[in-house]
Structure 1
Amino acid sequence: MFDLTYTDRLPLVPEAILRQHKVHEPHDTRFRAAARLLQALWRDRRDIPMGFYVNGKGRKTALGSRLSAFAAAAGANFLSPELQRLTRRELAYREPGAMIDEHRVWSNMLSSMPLTFNLFGGLKLNRDLAHAVCRTLWPELVQDICHIQFEHSPGRGDRTFTDDGTAFDVLLSCRDAQGAKTFVAIEVKYSEAMVEPAARGRPRYEELSETCGLYHDPADPTLRTSPYQQLWREHMLAEQLISSGLYDRGVFVCLAPRLNHQVQQACVGYAQKLFERDGACGFDALALEEMIGTIREAGAEDFAAALHERYSDFTPVHALI
């Protein structure tokens, strides 16, 4: 009998199935279409009311990956009441200038920001779990975690850094085994395809690209365009955390699902542009599935199972095919 299981790819979901579940968006990538359907199926299993969006003609259109206003207000985008409360607190006390779209946080199931709060909020609520997970993933950097910050920038508009609003989705401020100040700066991707609009060019970007010592060719024009431009800006910001003396060592991490090939390929291509230098901020591409597996191995089996079901278990999508 032939093996009918594919572990290295997601299906091209037939349009009829996407329409049936109100998730047919013609411009979705292969991964995004499957992920949108996965979110709709997760919502359906819990009888959570569907939301809508307003199209270009001003018409309300039902969307299976969107929560109704009532469900959004009730916190249905989060895996537990505790995570909902943590998110409300973090949004209330966000850093001045932090760019967070609250509508997406509460109602858009496909957005990477709810994933960020569901995943790293769970670590922030459980210090022992956070230590166990991060010591496993980044053993040379993490002995103790001092702080977990969301949508963090060391200084928006500060010329010491990138002189703009660039920020990390998550920053883990840590100490290593010798007591040195370390960090793990994280960009979280879920269904994005690394084609976000490029930030407006700034002289400070060019200065940092030349002086930071991260790149084989600091003038490489491809660093300034998608799919690399966001990684370029955030990695330079992370390097400045070290150069400015705020931290001794650190790593910039792009966290994304293994089967989101656009993000994974972008990380591979970006890594090839880097110049290895002692003391420089490292770069790491981490699969979401690996982090969830590490959470499971640390003993938080229920939390890992909830994350897996919500974001990385595409069994329900395969079943429809």
Structure 2
Amino acid sequence: MDTTVPLPPAADNPTLFADAARAILDPSGLGPINRVPLIPESARRRHRVFIPADHRFKAAARFLQALWREDRGLAIGTHVNCREPHRPRRLGSRISTAAGALGANFLHPDILPVVTRALAYREPGAAYDVDRLKTNLLSSQPLAFNLFGLLARDLTQATRFVTELLPGTLTEVTDVLFEHSPGRGDARFTADRTAYDVVLRGRSPNGGRAFICIEIKYSESGHEPAPPPHPRHAQIAHTTPSLFVDPNDPTLTRSVCQQFYRQHCLAAATLRAGLADTATFVFLAPAPNVTAHKAAATYARHLTDPQAGPIPFIPLTLEHTFAALAAAGLTDHARALHRRYTDFWLVDGELDLAAAATSDTIPSQDEASSTARKPTRTRKLPTPRDPSLATQRMTRPAARAA
């Protein structure tokens, strides 16, 4: 059973919060990993996750998802390249269609009914790719459900979570919405398809209507292609006092900032339409996804006052969010989220296991000369399907030394 674990509010003492979070999510005491490793092509191919276009963090995240799948014995899925639809390839960061249909991409059985209902009542134009949602382990859309699905079923717990993560924003959560926009294509808002991954609606400390709009990135770099600038965004930017330093700055509509810019404009338009009294814009990404956090930092420099402006912009790490879940009473679930999405010591440990297996096959000088004319046989690296291997990866001496 999950139990409520008291954590100090993040805003009061971030250091104490981080220490408490580490105790909950890092019982082995390894601490945060400084940076994700560059994984050799041979290891990525062995786990069927070699994608040449992957940047450093995405390659490590894909590798971690493959380890999670293997440790649970889930059947590998396939990826179909739109340029070669007749040549599907097995991909270690996907699960089979059959496993996906059973809800294997979600970390708790109570999340599946939330997903089913969200799909059944999806908003017109909502950007759901159902196959990707159910079978792609790397996608941020199932992460959104894994992170907020249990909270959608228990609004009291959702309120405790927000109190821990964002004190002073909501004193009561009344709704948890997925893939939400107040009106896609509606000229009262941004007149396009801009939406949020998750929206929490409720009451602010003064009793007003408030909402928290959330953008989540897992392996994405934060430099996604920019759509053509829309005149409605510029109109909102110019008529929202004290939001942007310079609403005419072209950087706002370029790849590094464009999604944040569109979503911030949508929040401003939502307030102007009278649907809420206050709004907070939150960005979540894993701490080692440095590129995504740099994109958020770049965007924040274009805001007049990111923390106390008309719509505060608050970038946070996934790890910090998991700790707030634990503090709200979902300790076991927070650990499961960390194990799946952010415990990159498992990747480090897998590389150590591979290195050890390779060293076992390297003969000494005497052995090399005596067997020079004999064929050699390499020991096969065991596939880490047993969850005990995950513990071995986490607690090995080399990791502690690091």
Normalising TM by the smaller chain, what interval? over 0.9
Whole-angstrom CA distance in 2 between matches of 1:178 and 1:234: 25
> Do residues 294 (structure 1) and 320 (structure 2) align?
no
> Do residues 225 (structure 1) and 254 (structure 2) align?
yes
Whole-angstrom CA distance in 2 between matches of 1:165 and 1:54: 26
> Do residues 242 (structure 1) and 271 (structure 2) align?
yes
Whole-angstrom CA distance in 2 between matches of 1:20 and 1:38: 13
Aligned letter for 2:326?
R
Whole-angstrom CA distance in 1 between matches of 2:227 and 2:202: 29
Whole-angstrom CA distance in 2 between matches of 1:271 and 1:40: 34
Q: Secondary structure at the match of 1:139?
A: coil
Whole-angstrom CA distance in 1 between matches of 2:94 and 2:231: 39
Normalized against structure 1, the TM-score is what?
Answer: 0.95
Decide which of 244, 258, 283 is 2:287's aligned counterpart. Answer: 258
Identical aligned residues as a percent: 45
**Displacement after TM superposition at 1:30 (Å):** 0.7
Aligned letter for 2:202?
C
Unaligned runs of 5+ in 2: 1-29, 352-402
**Displacement after TM superposition at 1:152 (Å):** 0.8
Q: Secondary structure at the match of 2:110?
A: helix
Q: How does 1:105-124 map to 2 (within 5 A)?
A: 105-124=133-152
- Superposed CA offset, 1:129-171 (max 9, x none): 2111101222221100011111111111111110111111111
Decide which of 40, 45, 51 is 2:66's aligned counterpart. Answer: 40
**Displacement after TM superposition at 1:8 (Å):** 2.3
- 8 Å Cα contact 2:78/2:89 also seen in 1: yes
- Superposed CA offset, 1:190-242 (max 9, x none): 00011222223222122122222321111111111111100000011112222
Number of equivalenced pairs: 318
Aligned letter for 1:25?
I
Unaligned runs of 5+ in 1: none
> Do residues 11 (structure 1) and 37 (structure 2) align?
yes
Question: Which stretch shifts more, 150-159 or 202-211?
Answer: 202-211
Cross-structure match for 1:283 = 313
Whole-angstrom CA distance in 1 between matches of 2:195 and 2:80: 29
Whole-angstrom CA distance in 2 between matches of 1:243 and 1:53: 43
Q: How does 1:51-90 map to 2 (within 5 A)?
A: 51-55=77-81, 56-57=83-84, 58-90=86-118
Normalized against structure 2, the TM-score is what?
Answer: 0.76
Whole-angstrom CA distance in 1 between matches of 2:128 and 2:104: 18
**Displacement after TM superposition at 1:31 (Å):** 0.7
> Do residues 49 (structure 1) and 79 (structure 2) align?
no
Q: CA RMSD in A?
A: 1.6
Cross-structure match for 2:56 = 30
- 8 Å Cα contact 2:236/2:268 also seen in 1: no
Whole-angstrom CA distance in 1 between matches of 2:209 and 2:265: 18
- 8 Å Cα contact 1:198/1:226 also seen in 2: yes
- 8 Å Cα contact 2:155/2:175 also seen in 1: no
> Do residues 199 (structure 1) and 231 (structure 2) align?
no
Whole-angstrom CA distance in 2 between matches of 1:202 and 1:131: 36
Q: Secondary structure at the match of 1:81?
A: coil
- 8 Å Cα contact 2:164/2:328 also seen in 1: no
- 8 Å Cα contact 1:23/1:65 also seen in 2: yes
Cross-structure match for 2:197 = 169
Question: Which stretch shifts more, 50-59 or 85-94?
Answer: 50-59
Whole-angstrom CA distance in 1 between matches of 2:291 and 2:323: 22
- 8 Å Cα contact 2:118/2:178 also seen in 1: yes
Q: Secondary structure at the match of 2:267?
A: helix
Aligned letter for 1:276?
D
Whole-angstrom CA distance in 2 between matches of 1:91 and 1:206: 32
Cross-structure match for 1:274 = 303
**Displacement after TM superposition at 1:279 (Å):** 6.2
